[in-house]
A and B are shown apart, each in its own frame.
Chain A
Amino acid sequence: MREIFFPKRMWRPRGDLKRRYDVVIVGGGSHGLATAYYLAKHHGVKDVCILERSYIGSGASGRNTTIIRANYRTPEGAAFYRESVRLYERLSSELDFNLMFSQHGHLTLAHSDRGLVVAQERAEVNKLLGIRSEVIGPDRIRELCPELDLSDKPAYPILGALYHPPGGIIRHDAVVWAYARGADRLGVEIHPYTEVTGFERSGDRIVAVETTRGRVECGQVVSATAGWSSLVGKLAGLRLPITTHILQAFVTEPLKPFLDVIIVSSQLHVYVSQTDRGEFLIGAEIEPYTTYKSTGTLSFLEYSARHALELFPQLEKTKVLRTWTGLCDLSPDYSPILGKTEIENFHVSAGWGTYGFKAAPIVGVTLAELVATQKTPALIAPFALERFYTDTLVSELAAAAVSH
């Protein structure tokens, strides 16, 4: 509150790079910044620098759907995201920055009985793990979202939904800025516009990171680079089973409150929410082809508009203002790749597909613990890179078909 009247810098201006840091974090997005913050806060590890090739939050952190939820399909995934939601709920207060986390509820619609079965399975897993989640019918959906077209007029009538009351939306940029401020105030150095160009290896260890602003020696390295994970991994000599796809979204002109809950439809491959600014935020599933090219497509706009109107015909005259794309790093089983790798001091947070932002706080907490203690926390053990060698996959596929 005080800062309203006495503006204070959020973070120090970028300084010179030191010769060495205990921990070098590649990627100044929500994961990298959160990891730095918890390293300093929980473990007193403050000799940390974050290398970001553009501005902070310029990648997936600033381009995602801003949806936070925990209603995953696998017990491993659900338990992990449950902790993330808990952390998010306290985060505004912890970081003293209003992240505008609005838990109005999240509805995943089912338009076929197959869809209902998937919803039931998720609900059952969730309930067992103490996550509020249930399958509801059209009457209850109407109470929660009277604006939705629940008639039999749409091509895919709505049969039911997975209702997840704690699901909500958050101001994504604010999460980035708040973590950046928190980390900066604890002594972490943030270096925007500093691109990593290579790693210097000695056997199974990384000894230094090469950047566009010179060479930095390091104790440990964390790569949290989302869409660029496989490229950064390659620089370090690490192969990651990741493909990169684009995800597109658009916003409309602002309107007065119309829709409180978040509506997701797997069958229509579309999600719709309304931000606090009044814009409708509408997006689709990731594009099926792999690319780094961030130009969007017209067919995406057409497809998403068509499907959004299936749900909300009232929006037909609502105008699209701007579209954008983000890069998604997809793993084969739609679960993240988190933690240690075969390079002793090189740790990754990758393979997030479209659900990385939802995990930022818990990734920060667990990865910081791993870096500080060299022990993998139990919560993230199932997500180790090793699982692709032992074939112990954690299949989120059912939940991930439009996973926002």
Chain B
Amino acid sequence: MRLPPQPRERIDRSQRILFTFDGKVVGGYAGDTIGSALFAHGQRIFSRSFKYHRPRGLLCCSGHCPNCLMTVDGVPNVRVCVEPIRDGAVVEPQNVWGSLERDVLSITDKIGGPFTPVGFYYRTMIRPRRLWPVYEKVLRNLAGLGRLRKDGAGHTRYDVEHRRARVLVVGGGEAGRAAALAAAALGPDVVLVDETADLVGHELEGVEVLAPARALGIWEGGLVPVVAGSVLHRFRAERIVVAAGALDQPLVFPGNDLVGVMLPGGVRRLVRDFAIAPGSRAVVIAAGEEDLEIAGELREVGVAVPEVVDLTSTPARRIEAHGRKGRVAAVSVDGRKVDCDLVVASAGRQPAYSLLAQAGARVEYDESRGIFVPTNLPAGVEAVGSVTGEDCVTVDPVRTTKGAGGDKCFVCVCEDVTTKDIARAIDEGFDSIELAKRYTTVTMGPCQGKLCQLASIRLYAQATGVGEAAVGTTTARPPWAPVELGVLAGRHFEPARRTSVHFRHEEAGARMMWAGPWKRPYAYGERPEDEVRAVHDSLGVIDVSTLGKILVEGPEAADLLERLYPNRFGDLRPGRIRYGVLTSDAGRIMDDGTVARLADDLYYVTTTSTGADSVTAWFEWWNAVWGYDAEIVNVTGALAALNLAGPRAREALGRLVDDPDVVSAESFRYLDAKALVVAGVPCLALRIGFVGELGYELHFPSPAGEHVWDRLVAEGARPFGLEPQRVLRLEKGHIIVGQDTDSESNLLSAGMQWLPKMDKDDFVGKLALEHFAERPERERLVGFRMEEDVLPVEGAQIVVEGRPAGRVTSARRSEAVGGVIGLAWLPPDRAEEGTRFEVRVDRRLVGARVAHGPFYDPAGERMRA
């Protein structure tokens, strides 16, 4: 039943909207919330409480308390008091066994009390241990509020908007509006954020109003995220004005959670915004002038108010609410019982300081007014209105707890924490507010402490006799209002790096996989071994555009590389290539690749596929330290790179260049770097042999990627993926940094003693390598062959006397070699050629023998051909 039209009502009585609640159709008006429509429909019990399953009704009507949490359209824990009504919504109660009116589990309220005091679960269900999983299952099912749909995939489109504001005002009450208007008079870019719908459609001159919207916090750099619907507005504001107002504080008295006990703000909203009379006979227990006005407002709309008590002008009293079936039926004030169906009870108003505290403000207790006020605001943040403490005062919210001792007396409605629980926690020794919070879980529920922090602190202060100021508040932790994960996540966007040939691989049916930040082909069919065979017998092509590619140019480029690498590059002749490994200052292997000298002052460095950015940064860092005249230019994305490999590589390449003689064995030797024009595209061709056959790595402008690829394939090159490449390189005994080595591997133990030139004056990692050379070796990387045709997993353990003594880092079955080969770290005394060791494969030990050097074409005749 609605009241006659109210002057500021938000409902549009001409627009009827229907939704279902617990299977029944309920109607409301446009402008209603689901909560207001349900209340108007006569619904009074909105939820059952967390622990005792006590009936709960509307309390704050502002989206703070847990009392109206329901499941709406399958989404649990929706605060229906602020959730806009919408046609066809499916609204269901939650955390109920039975119905809202008859919840089987409310038995815990009646008889559970003595057995389930605060922290009871710590004292029980300990033995026998094997029964804990059973108890736990029950506990888990009792806990929690709403139920998440397991199949409910995300369909909402979330987005983020990056905003800037000169002045951002948080809170659209009187003070906030005045501050915004004053700021707007001085300049543009003023934004006002308000969490209610009150300002929707209102015009504030020069001010952009964002509502309903909630600020989540104030982070460094004036960053204020504001949620409006499914968009997160990330404001960066020069000045932030917090006008968050004050929060009605519940009074703590026996029966204070009964349905029909409400806060003045909630009552006012029902009357003013939705034209609903919250009851027919009300008792008002007020804490000051502002609360007292509610009595008049209620009388104006025809609600009888037989009793008004102002706690600020009367001494402590015994107050107790009496219920019938969970709903308030009467209130006793100092023993005098007054029948009523509504109790407006308030302990006053406490500044909503959380945003400020989280921004770095201090929070101090004001003894005279019984409130915590924010002080020492951080630079760029101001506060106006009630949040500063203006017009705020609370009476001791717990002075009425003595009551007549009948019903429970709740400090925290979210977690069902009573005054008894707090007293008990203190008796047990949890004598700091932080410990008590953790033990009783007070302030840890959905209201985030908005309605229970002050009361719990004051209760604490009284019980421990130390004073509120000394008790202090618990840390203010963002977000200021609960926020959906989806809003924080924003758009689903996880970009992959794709080479310029990427779509050709997809078109050829390649199975794409992540390789670091790149997507690469694993193989083009179900039989990677066929691709291996093509490379050995004929011709293959692999997209290696993912290799890092760095130009180093300048008169001192050679000096820079000499000092970055353990081996020499100063004596490398233009047009020649050398393998290089980068070591850290600690002598650990960081990355490897080839270095080609293109001219006296120009080098072309390739890195691993994941190493481009870190190697560039590493080069730049050292160059900044040493100050050489050399530029470091990362051209990884600018160039595509394709490796054409196999016995037919020269012949095929010869057909794509103007003069086949330029690729003849004599003019283009192994480890030469040459400029070629292939299929009309200018290329840097590197003759290297990572996969063990005659091969040319062609580097050329990315946009020509598909063209060159197509021409090579047309010449009969079979595309091969990463998996065949891994087999091919393993046959040659080539390591992969990051797979065969880890963060502790060094050149000496990785079998590359030949690489570092210790007679060089200096290079990064030299000192560490000298130290390694002096100390006993712990392990060594070697090749091995399995004695049986059994493939160990990568990571398989080498077992000596039942203990892990080493590990397999790579292992593959090789047709060309005829057996299972691999690389492994072994104790140095077992690393000699031919030494037998045992690998654990599927719960048994299988023999293997150390085999140094390449397994395939040990003399390297094929790749040098």
Contacts and interface: CB of A to CB of B under 8 A. Distances in A.
Nearest to A317: B75
Contact of A323 (B152, B477, B515): B477
Given A98-B122, A278-B140, A117 B434 contact: no
B150 A320 contact: no
Nearest to B778: A392
B803 interface: yes
A276 B140 contact: yes
B434 A58 contact: yes
Interface in B775-796: 775, 778, 793-796
B196 interface: no
Contacts of A313: 152-154
Interface in A218-256: 252-256
Interface stretch (A19-27, A107-115, A195-203, A339-347): A107-115
Interface in A1-27: 1, 3-5, 7-13
A47 B740 CA distance: 51
A7 B439 CA distance: 14
A57 to B, nearest CB: 8
Contact of A125 (B145, B485, B804): B804
Nearest to A10: B429
B123 A97 contact: yes
A120 B742 CA distance: 15
A331 interface: no
Nearest to A315: B485
Contacts of A319: 77, 482-485
Contacts of B494: 155-156, 310
Given A55-B434, A320-B479, A395-B743, A112 B795 contact: no
A191 interface: no
Contact of B123 (A98, A120, A171, A398): A98
Nearest to B94: A256
Contacts of A118: 795
Nearest to B95: A256
B797 to A, nearest CB: 5
A318 B428 contact: no
A112 B513 contact: yes
Interface string A265-276: 001000000001
Contact of B483 (A13, A149, A314, A320): A320
A82 B453 CA distance: 41
Most buried by B among A100, A156, A323: A100
Given A1-B124, A7-B427, A295-B220, A173 B438 contact: yes
Contacts of B515: 112, 114
A121 B485 contact: no
Nearest to A294: B475
A4 B154 contact: no
A317 B155 CA distance: 10
Contact of A306 (B144, B429, B490, B795): B490
Interface stretch (B112-120, B455-463, B675-683): B112-120
A125 B797 contact: yes
A320 B803 CA distance: 46
Given A92-B129, A97-B122, A117 B219 contact: no
A10 B95 CA distance: 33
B478 A156 contact: no
A315 B744 contact: no
B158 to A, nearest CB: 8
A319 B486 CA distance: 9
B478 A391 contact: no
Most buried by A among B122, B141, B778: B122
Contacts of A277: 143-144, 441
B428 A55 contact: no
A316 interface: yes
B156 interface: yes
A143 interface: no
Interface residues on B, range: 35 or more
A324 B144 contact: no
Given A13-B431, A257-B140, A314-B154, A298 B489 contact: no
Nearest to A97: B122
A101 B125 CA distance: 12
Nearest to A184: B429
A97 B126 contact: yes
Contacts of A177: 122, 439
A101 B120 CA distance: 16
A306 B495 CA distance: 13
A4 B147 contact: no
Nearest to A123: B795
Interface in B137-165: 139-141, 143-154, 156, 158
Nearest to A75: B804
Nearest to B220: A295
B796 A120 contact: yes
Interface in A377-403: 390-393, 395, 397-398
A309 B144 contact: no
Interface residues of A, number: 97
Given A98-B123, A111-B514, A391-B775, A7 B136 contact: no
Contacts of B438: 57, 62, 173
Interface in A132-180: 135, 146-147, 149, 155-156, 171, 173-174, 177
A136 B494 CA distance: 25
B148 A320 contact: no
A57 B429 CA distance: 14
A210 interface: no
Contacts of B444: 321-322
B399 interface: no
A147 B775 contact: no
Contacts of A121: 794-795, 807
Contacts of A128: 797, 799, 802-804, 840
Nearest to B145: A254
Contacts of A112: 513-515
A122 interface: yes
A305 interface: yes
A187 interface: no
Contact of B744 (A93, A114, A147, A393): A393
Contacts of B77: 253, 255, 318-319
B496 interface: yes
B647 interface: no
B126 A93 contact: yes
B765 interface: no
Contacts of A8: 428
Contacts of B150: 146-147, 258, 314
B145 A278 contact: yes
B771 interface: yes
A102 interface: yes
A9 B485 contact: no
Contact of A11 (B122, B129, B429): B429
A75 B151 CA distance: 40
Contacts of B115: 4
B225 interface: yes
A318 B840 contact: no
Interface of A: 1, 3-5, 7-13, 54-58, 62, 75, 89-90, 92-93, 96-98, 100-102, 111-114, 117-125, 127-129, 135, 146-147, 149, 155-156, 171, 173-174, 177, 192, 252-258, 267, 276-278, 295-298, 301-302, 305-306, 308-310, 313-324, 333, 390-393, 395, 397-398
Of all A-B residue pairs in the complex, the 5 with the closest CB atoms, nearest first, are A121-B795, A278-B144, A155-B494, A316-B486, A120-B795
Given A128-B802, A298-B223, 11 more contacts: A90-B129, A124-B797, A128-B797, A128-B803, A254-B143, A278-B145, A314-B153, A315-B485, A317-B484, A323-B478, A333-B744
Interface of B: 50, 75-77, 95, 114-115, 117, 120-127, 129, 132-133, 136, 139-141, 143-154, 156, 158, 216-217, 219-220, 223, 225, 234, 360, 424, 427-432, 434-435, 438-439, 441, 444-446, 448, 475, 477-479, 482-486, 488-490, 492, 494, 496, 513-515, 522, 738-739, 742-744, 771-772, 775, 778, 793-797, 799, 802-804, 807, 840, 843
